[in-house]
Structure 1
Amino acid sequence: MAERARTIGRATSPADGRAVSDLSAVPAPGPLRRVFAARPWLVDISVSLVFTTIVVATLVSDVIAEGTTVTPWQVASIGGTAIALLFRRRAPITVLVVVVVLTTVLGFSAESNLVLAVPIALYAVAAFRSPLVGWIAAAIAFAVTVASLFLWLPILSDRLGAPQAFDIPIVLLTIAMADVVGVLLGTNTWQRTERVRVLTERAEHLARERDSRARFAALAERSRIAREMHDVVAHSLSVMIALADGASASMERDPASARRALDRLSDTGRDALRDMRQVLSVLGDDSDEPESLRPAPGREDVAELVDRFRDAGLPVRYTVRGASTPDPQVDLAVYRIVQEALTNALRYAAGARHVEVEVDARADATVVTVADDGGRADGTVAAAPSEPPRKPQQVGAGRGLIGMRERAAVFGGTIEAGPLATGGWRVRAELPNATSGTAEPRSTDG
């Protein structure tokens, strides 16, 4: 029991006030109680020895005071009862039967306290089985005791003398009270044990629930990091490849333009490295480094993002309406959705003449739309005359679209992505919010 109580103390969390209050109601066991709880056989031996000592002392005092003799049956019944009480924890009902038979049926022990072994056995029945079984056993044991008393009454009268008017009622009342006390004490022990068991199960359940929440939180964090890493790496590599291709193509005919592209390539690589460090800082101990203190990108950074894609050769027109939302997480989702959509346009929409990016902060939602004219309604991509054919866009290919849907789902939003009837591709995201836009639309043309 003590070990189970210690398990409760380890498993419960102060976050559950009810569980803590229940546990505080259970007193901490003392040193002696902890010893007996760890070695229950010591309790059984102690009970048997103490009871046997009292019975023997009573019998010896009667022998000395009244000159009675000790019969072999008395010795056998005392020894048998003492041995039976050693097993009261393992087989309480069997021990009760043996004790009742030895102390009342085969010989009524009226001249000693041996008959009081019955309440001890009843305590074990109520404590280690159940209170209901204890009360039933007590009723049966008392009925057997009454029947045995009247059965042995002639022999007891010859040996001890004729009983007085109230002797038999007093004896039966004493035995009944002792039996009731034994069952009540056993019931109290059973209730305490049952309460500890219930608290232990509750604590183990809370511990499992806490571990499950921790695992779910870890999985969610891993998914978030993977999504951020995908957005950072896919965007940066796509822009860097486009810049490198452009620098290579213009190296001879326009060295200045190639140099600008290489400078932009270097800046993009540094930004990607910084973003990766910021995303991965939660996995290490470098949370105080400047990179980790840099705020996450938001809607105000979309213009700079668009400039990067323009430098990479993507003709982007950016329009923004309304003010930024007060929630930085929504702004981050807007930034990442635009980033992923433009990355896909850069990779797949070869030959696109126009790419429209629109962020509209309405009263009920922020709507992000990214559309290009680089493909036809059948989903194939139209390549520029001077470029080789590109692979068609695939709906849901890779983690990009999945990541955008996950970001929108966090806020209860939706993502629509697919080919346009007039050709090209469109991504539309709607993120619910409570911000109303009042600013005039502003546009920047590439």
Structure 2
Amino acid sequence: MTEAPLSPGYPASVVGGELRLPKPPGVVRQFWARHPRLTDALIAALYFVPTFLGTLSFVFVPTGPPLWLGLAQLVAVAASAAAMLVRRSRPWLLMGVAWVVCLVVYPFGSVDLFPVLVALYALAVYRSTRAAWIAFGGSVVVGIASANLALLAQAGDTVAPFGAGAPESAVQFAILMLIATLIGVTVGNRRRYLNALIARAHDLARERDQQAQLATAVERSRIAREMHDIVSHSLTVMVTLADGSAATAERDPERAAEAMRHVAESGRTALGDMRRMLGVLAEPATLPADLSPQPGAAAIPALIGSFRAAGMPVRLTTTGAGVSDPNLQLTIYRIVQEGLTNAFRYAASATRVDVDLEHRDTEVLVTVTDDATSPSVPDLEGGGLGLVGMRERVALYGGTLEAGPRAQRGWRVSAMLHTDAGSTNDAETDR
């Protein structure tokens, strides 16, 4: 993964695709931005070569300074140039070397203030504005001390760098260092601002990908619930009717034929539901979507009738005014469908199955009970997907689900839904 041209250290691409960043203006600026080590080496060479040669020629002049002082100046030049090579990663090291050079060598020779200026710029760009101003204050103190040392050296018949008084030299030092600090602060603030923008863009792109993954997971869960409800209900009814038809085919052919007609009707209904769902998932050009609405409260009597036709003694009781929200109606329908499917599958000995729909002011209570003599544990062979799906549907409306054996015999499924909790819920939309 490559680095962003405007922001070294930040990748140019993120999860989910490339993050396109604006190109920095100018071919020359792009070249130096891609080769930071070459830039530092050239800056160090531009300082080291002329300063080292000038100091070297000054050392061997007969009237020049003592040999030890000349060697000290050459060492100071070499140390300053070496510290410039790491000005990006260790600007305080360059600053410390520059201060030592100013205090120890500068008052007695021709070593200039270029390392101090470079260090102030590096601190402002690669550290912080606060660090730059702290270094500027320290550099002013060092400059004043160096100017006073120069006066002492001048008094001792040693040529001082500027050949002027301490105040004038200190003012010159301060002006040069202030210019370098201001330039560094301007460049550093712009660099940090661009880095913040690029980092924010990466965060937004990563958040976009995470939101897409969450939306995909939610949609997969919704499709899994719908598929389970459609397939589980239809296949359960079809398998049971087919088994009953096979058992009564010889002694009661008419009843067997009626059962098979119910099998065919259940199959057609399941195919219709599947076609509607696949039409929503498929591309418009490949498979047209069925625009008929999902089943709601009005389809519950027909659902009850299909179970009665299959031989289940089920009774529907409805109290209160019905809900108008189609999403909530679909949730109620699926809960009733799952409860009856489980009773049909596991409560074959039941003599009565009751479906109670109680509509209150802000709540809907859906209850499915049976009186089977044997324990009816729903959907264990299917991994409990039916109960899990019901819990997810109920949770969308801030409700509760209770499923378990009754005190005497049979099984009870009770779901409490809040009618106002799903007003802004888009998880179950009409398809």
Q: Is 2:333 the partner of 1:335?
A: yes
SS in 2 for 1:106: helix
Give the C-alpha shift of residue 138 in structure 1: 3.4
Letter paired with 2:234? S
Q: Is 2:170 the partner of 1:172?
A: yes
Equivalent residue number for residue 429 of structure 1: 415
Give the C-alpha shift of residue 222 in structure 1: 2.4
Higher relative contact order (CA 8 A, sep 6+): 1
Q: Is 2:91 the partner of 1:108?
A: no
For structure 2, the residue ranges without an aligned partner over 5 or more in a row are 422-431
**TM-score, normalised on structure 2?**
0.76
Give the C-alpha shift of residue 342 in structure 1: 1.0
Q: Structure 1 residues 192 and 163 mapped into 2: Cα distance closer, same or farther (>3 Å)?
A: closer
Equivalent residue number for residue 5 of structure 2: 2
Equivalent residue number for residue 384 of structure 1: none
Q: Is 2:119 the partner of 1:121?
A: yes
Q: Is 2:97 the partner of 1:98?
A: yes
Give the C-alpha shift of residue 303 in structure 1: 1.9
Q: Structure 1 residues 7 and 328 mapped into 2: Cα distance closer, same or farther (>3 Å)?
A: farther
Letter paired with 2:33? A
For structure 1, the residue ranges without an aligned partner over 5 or more in a row are 14-23, 64-68, 382-391, 436-446
What aligned pairs does 1:110-259 form with structure 2 within 5 A after superposition? 114-153=112-151, 155-156=153-154, 158=157, 167-259=165-257
Equivalent residue number for residue 35 of structure 2: 39
Number of residue pairs aligned between Structure 1 and Structure 2: 402
Letter paired with 2:5? A
1:393 to 376, 381, 385: 376
Give the C-alpha shift of residue 268 in structure 1: 1.4
Q: Structure 1 residues 424 and 129 mapped into 2: Cα distance closer, same or farther (>3 Å)?
A: closer
Q: Structure 1 residues 305 and 70 mapped into 2: Cα distance closer, same or farther (>3 Å)?
A: farther
What aligned pairs does 1:9-28 form with structure 2 within 5 A after superposition? none
Q: Is 2:403 the partner of 1:417?
A: yes
The worse-fitting range, judged by mean Cα deviation, of 341-350 and 292-301 is: 292-301
Equivalent residue number for residue 309 of structure 1: 307
SS in 2 for 1:429: strand
The worse-fitting range, judged by mean Cα deviation, of 323-332 and 405-414 is: 323-332
Q: Structure 1 residues 175 and 161 mapped into 2: Cα distance closer, same or farther (>3 Å)?
A: closer
Give the C-alpha shift of residue 337 in structure 1: 0.8
Give the C-alpha shift of residue 291 in structure 1: 5.0
2:298 to 293, 297, 300: 300
The whole-number CA distance in structure 2 between the counterparts of 1:182 and 1:51 is: 16
Letter paired with 2:323? T
Q: Is the 8 A contact 2:108 2:159 kept in 1?
A: no
Q: Structure 1 residues 313 and 6 mapped into 2: Cα distance closer, same or farther (>3 Å)?
A: farther
SS in 2 for 1:108: helix
Q: Structure 1 residues 109 and 195 mapped into 2: Cα distance closer, same or farther (>3 Å)?
A: farther
Letter paired with 1:43? T
Letter paired with 2:98? V
**TM-score, normalised on structure 1?**
0.73
Give the C-alpha shift of residue 322 in structure 1: 5.1
Equivalent residue number for residue 349 of structure 2: 351
Give the C-alpha shift of residue 193 in structure 1: 4.1
The whole-number CA distance in structure 2 between the counterparts of 1:97 and 1:367 is: 77
Q: Structure 1 residues 357 and 162 mapped into 2: Cα distance closer, same or farther (>3 Å)?
A: closer
The worse-fitting range, judged by mean Cα deviation, of 297-306 and 251-260 is: 251-260
Letter paired with 1:364? T
SS in 1 for 2:283: coil
Letter paired with 2:411? W
Q: Is the 8 A contact 1:287 1:293 kept in 2?
A: no
Give the C-alpha shift of residue 134 in structure 1: 3.4
Q: Is the 8 A contact 1:5 1:196 kept in 2?
A: no
Q: Is the 8 A contact 2:108 2:150 kept in 1?
A: no
Q: Structure 1 residues 34 and 109 mapped into 2: Cα distance closer, same or farther (>3 Å)?
A: farther
Q: Is the 8 A contact 1:243 1:311 kept in 2?
A: no
Give the C-alpha shift of residue 173 in structure 1: 0.4
Equivalent residue number for residue 388 of structure 1: none
Equivalent residue number for residue 439 of structure 1: none
The worse-fitting range, judged by mean Cα deviation, of 260-269 and 200-209 is: 200-209
Q: Provide Cα deviations, 1:233-267, integer angstroms capped at 9, x if missing partner.
A: 22111110121123223323333332222122122
The worse-fitting range, judged by mean Cα deviation, of 275-284 and 32-41 is: 275-284
Identity rate, percent = 39
Q: Structure 1 residues 102 and 365 mapped into 2: Cα distance closer, same or farther (>3 Å)?
A: closer
Q: Is the 8 A contact 2:44 2:85 kept in 1?
A: yes
Q: Is the 8 A contact 2:107 2:153 kept in 1?
A: no
